């Protein structure tokens, strides 16, 4: 899929600005704080309906504006389509595709993106929440049913956490505790099967990429970790449900004492290792960056296999800390689909990739 053109009105530091992109590589150049990441963020919005760096939509609206609009012409599934998102302070966002109202979840049927930004280094070094989020975002793009499971799970988790926190002041809350636990076990069982399947594909796709990236010197592995009593995350949802319920029963008192949910898919993790050693503890800076990039490029391959089209690859500040050989590897690897890559100076990237260059300055874009 290709984003051909994007118009930004009141979006971050852009107002009444448009950009046209090539189907291949697009190098977005500019000094610091000019709007490079803001442009990538708008393209990401087309696939998810939200930002990758702000929790609140109001932060996306230009400082002096009451609302904003992102409008894009895209080619996807052999059709020319128009995606429009409108945010107005204090109102729910309005999303349309070809003039028809859509939910944020439905956008992934039209546009898919894979983003790599400096924060993605946290995938390797930070706690499990970042890796769960990566997995969840990726699965939501290919399995719409998973997005619903995730929403159900979050609702159950919030309710159960509230009960565990407040039951001492209001003991009647305990009447519904077991129902919420049961709901969490049922939904977790289904999520675990999706996540285990995704982790296996991610490992299969990322290992060869990382091997090439490191000139054959490093072996990357990804192993899915879930509730301790689950012996096989690929077993039937019913079997996993029973095993989670067993864990819940054992930890019921501990949950009441600690006021925390101790059993469920919210504790899952991906164990990422380089040459058999936990990357979180032992990977160097370069290995960390390489491993994170390998995972993202693997996500792109999985989306291609699932949808038949390359997603739009968004690379924010990816080359700055890579040595020349690794830069070359990235630039060679991004062929095939559309890529938007930001950098402070072109440094020949456009020549090396044959790509289009867009210069960004103070919220203005020129080719």
59 binding partner (options ligand ATP, Mg ion, none; Cβ < 5 to 8 Å by kind): ligand ATP
CA 14 to CA 44: how far, in whole Å? 16
List 26, 38, 48, 294, residue binding ligand ATP (CB under 6 A)? 38
How crowded is residue 19: how many other Cβ atoms within 10 Å of its Cβ?
23
How crowded is residue 87: how many other Cβ atoms within 10 Å of its Cβ?
24
**Main-chain phi, psi angles of 243, to 5 degrees:** -70, -35
**Pairing between β-strand 269-274 and β-strand 220-225 as defined by DSSP bridges:** antiparallel
34 part of the interface to Mg ion, by CB under 5 A: no
- Helix ranges, the chain (H): 36-48, 122-125, 128-142, 144-166, 177-213, 237-258, 279-282, 285-307, 324-333, 349-353
How crowded is residue 132: how many other Cβ atoms within 10 Å of its Cβ?
19
67 part of the interface to ligand ATP, by CB under 6 A: no
51 part of the interface to ligand ATP, by CB under 6 A: no
User: Smallest distance, Å, CB 350 to ligand ATP?
Assistant: 17
26 part of the interface to ligand ATP, by CB under 6 A: no
User: Smallest distance, Å, CB 21 to ligand ATP?
Assistant: 17
Q: Name the residue nearer to Mg ion (CB basis): 30 or 355.
A: 30
Q: Name the residue nearer to ligand ATP (CB basis): 263 or 342.
A: 342
9 part of the interface to ligand ATP, by CB under 6 A: no
Q: Return the range that interacts with ligand ATP (CB under 6 A); candidates 32-40, 168-176, 260-268, 282-290.
A: 32-40
State the number of binding residues for ligand ATP (CB under 6 A). Answer: 15
**Main-chain phi, psi angles of 126, to 5 degrees:** -90, -175
CA 82 to CA 96: how far, in whole Å? 8
38 part of the interface to Mg ion, by CB under 5 A: no
76 binding partner (options ligand ATP, Mg ion, none; Cβ < 5 to 8 Å by kind): none
34 part of the interface to ligand ATP, by CB under 6 A: yes
Q: Name the residue nearer to ligand ATP (CB basis): 87 or 163.
A: 87
List 16, 55, 56, 63, residue binding ligand ATP (CB under 6 A)? 63
355 binding partner (options ligand ATP, Mg ion, none; Cβ < 5 to 8 Å by kind): none
List 5, 7, 13, 221, residue binding ligand ATP (CB under 6 A)? 13
Q: Return the range that interacts with ligand ATP (CB under 6 A); candidates 28-36, 82-90, 253-261, 267-275.
A: 28-36
326 binding partner (options ligand ATP, Mg ion, none; Cβ < 5 to 8 Å by kind): none
Closest residue by Cα to residue 203 from 224, 234, 173: 224
The position carrying tokens 């060869």 is 208
How crowded is residue 243: how many other Cβ atoms within 10 Å of its Cβ?
22
Q: Return the range that interacts with ligand ATP (CB under 6 A); candidates 34-42, 93-101, 150-158, 301-309.
A: 34-42
Q: Name the residue nearer to ligand ATP (CB basis): 40 or 199.
A: 40
221 binding partner (options ligand ATP, Mg ion, none; Cβ < 5 to 8 Å by kind): none
50 part of the interface to ligand ATP, by CB under 6 A: no
Closest residue by Cα to residue 25 from 2, 41, 49: 2
* 179-185: long-range contacts, CB 8 A cutoff, minimum separation 24: 180/156, 181/248, 181/252, 181/263, 182/245, 183/152, 183/156, 184/153, 184/156, 184/157, 184/160, 184/248, 184/261, 184/263, 184/264, 185/241, 185/244, 185/245, 185/248, 185/263, 185/264
Q: Name the residue nearer to Mg ion (CB basis): 29 or 95.
A: 29
36 part of the interface to ligand ATP, by CB under 6 A: yes
Question: Is the dihedral angle over the CA atoms 213, 214, 216, 222 positive or is it negative?
Answer: negative
CA 341 to CA 293: how far, in whole Å? 13
List 26, 37, 294, 338, residue binding Mg ion (CB under 5 A)? 37
Contact positions vs ligand ATP (CB under 6 A): 12-13, 30, 32-38, 59, 61-63, 344
Contact positions vs Mg ion (CB under 5 A): 36-37
């Amino acid at each position: 899929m290709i984003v051909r053109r994007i118009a930004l009105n009141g979006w971050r530091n852009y107002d009444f600005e448009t950009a046209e992109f090539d189907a291949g590589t697009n190098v977005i150049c500019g000094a610091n704080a000019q709007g490079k990441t803001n442009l990538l963020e708008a393209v990401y919005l087309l696939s998810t309906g939200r930002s990758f760096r702000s929790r609140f939509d109001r932060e996306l609206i230009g400082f002096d504006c009451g609302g904003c609009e992102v409008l894009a012409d895209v080619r996807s599934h052999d059709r020319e389509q128009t995606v429009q998102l409108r945010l107005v302070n204090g109102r729910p966002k309005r999303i349309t595709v070809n003039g028809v109202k859509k939910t944020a979840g439905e956008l992934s049927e039209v546009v898919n993106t894979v983003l790599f930004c400096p924060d993605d280094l946290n995938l390797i070094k930070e706690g499990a929440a970042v890796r769960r989020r990566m997995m969840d975002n990726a699965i939501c793009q290919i399995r719409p049913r998973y997005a619903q499971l995730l929403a159900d799970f979050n609702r159950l988790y919030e309710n159960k956490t509230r009960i565990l926190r407040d039951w001492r002041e209001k003991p009647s809350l305990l009447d519904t505790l077991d129902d919420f636990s049961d709901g969490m076990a049922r939904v977790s069982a289904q999520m675990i099967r999706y996540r285990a399947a995704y982790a296996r594909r991610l490992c299969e796709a990322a290992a060869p990429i990382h091997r090439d990236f490191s000139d054959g010197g490093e072996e990357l592995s990804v192993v899915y970790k879930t509730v301790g009593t689950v012996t096989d995350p690929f077993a039937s949802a019913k079997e996993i449900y029973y095993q989670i319920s067993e864990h819940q029963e054992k930890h019921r008192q501990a949950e009441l004492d600690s006021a925390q949910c101790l059993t469920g898919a919210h504790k899952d993790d991906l164990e990422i290792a380089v040459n058999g050693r936990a990357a979180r503890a032992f990977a160097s800076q370069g290995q960390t960056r390489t491993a994170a990039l390998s995972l993202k490029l693997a996500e792109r391959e999985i989306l291609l296999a699932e949808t038949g089209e390359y997603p739009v690859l968004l690379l924010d500040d990816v080359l700055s800390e890579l040595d020349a050989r690794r830069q070359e590897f990235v630039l060679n690897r991004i062929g095939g689909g559309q890529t938007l890559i930001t950098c402070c100076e072109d440094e020949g990237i456009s020549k090396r990739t044959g790509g289009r260059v867009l210069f960004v300055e103070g919220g203005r874009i020129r080719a």
